[in-house]
Amino acid sequence: MIHIGITNQIKKMTVAQRRSNYRDWGKIMKLKLLFGMVAVLGLLACSTKNVVLEQPVETSVGIVEEYLLGIGDVVQVNVWRNNDLSVSVIVRPDGKISVPLAGDIKVDGKSAQALSSEIEERLSSYIRNAKVTVIVTSPTSAEYIHRIRVTGAVAAQRSIPYRKGITVLDVILEAGGVSAFANADESKLYRQTEDGAKVYPIFLNDILEKGILDSNYTLFPQDIITVPERGF
């Protein structure tokens, strides 16, 4: 009897009332659908990499305020008013140069100013008030030290001159990008610091394909980026 009563009530409803009920029902369903989509999007956002990366410590290793001589550098030694004592020499593998009257001098790790003073002191036994200037004409050792290297599964492994502000993305692009066999998200940054070597993760897929730059670190001299190959 109850069922018959409800059926009779539905029949007595006007067309307008029915349409109104349908519209209300449609609004409720749309709201439920909207809330469901928001919930799904929230879950997707939470499921993506939500890792706060440790940013690499800045380092002064490889960056010097005053250039220090090294093996392979070419230096010009000028002795004022004594052209016969003035020479252009290469720093030998033993870290020394030879200067007339001054003999062999250990120069590796010294500044040009310190070397000038040492040569003046050695020449003082032969020349009164010797004035010596030292100019580094070819800083080969600096070229080696002030570089960033990228190795592994890249199009071309490179050794790239350091420039201020250079980033992981810059270096990877200069290397021609990663190879088809790269396990890009397992890449690493190796950095020498005052406290020893540090290793930092690089998510190259995020950088190259998604524009997520959390691991697009600013690089420093002597940094090394390695890109491993995938295991098959």
Could you give the CA distance from residue 54 to residue 77 in angstroms, rounded to a whole number?
47
Q: Please, what's the b/e burial string for 205-223 (b: 16 or more CB within 10 A of its CB; e: otherwise)? A: bbbbeeeeeebbbebbbbb
The answer to whether 75 touches 134, Cβ cutoff 8 Å, is yes
pLDDT digits (tens, 9 = 90+) for 150-177: 999 999 999 898 889 999 999 999 999 9
Better-predicted residue by pLDDT, 11 or 73: 73
- 74-138 topology per CATH: wza like fold (3.30.1950)
pLDDT digits (tens, 9 = 90+) for 178-230: 999 999 999 999 998 888 889 999 999 999 999 999 999 999 998 999 999 98
pTM to 2 decimal places:
0.52
- For the domain made up of 144-227, the CATH class stated in words is alpha beta
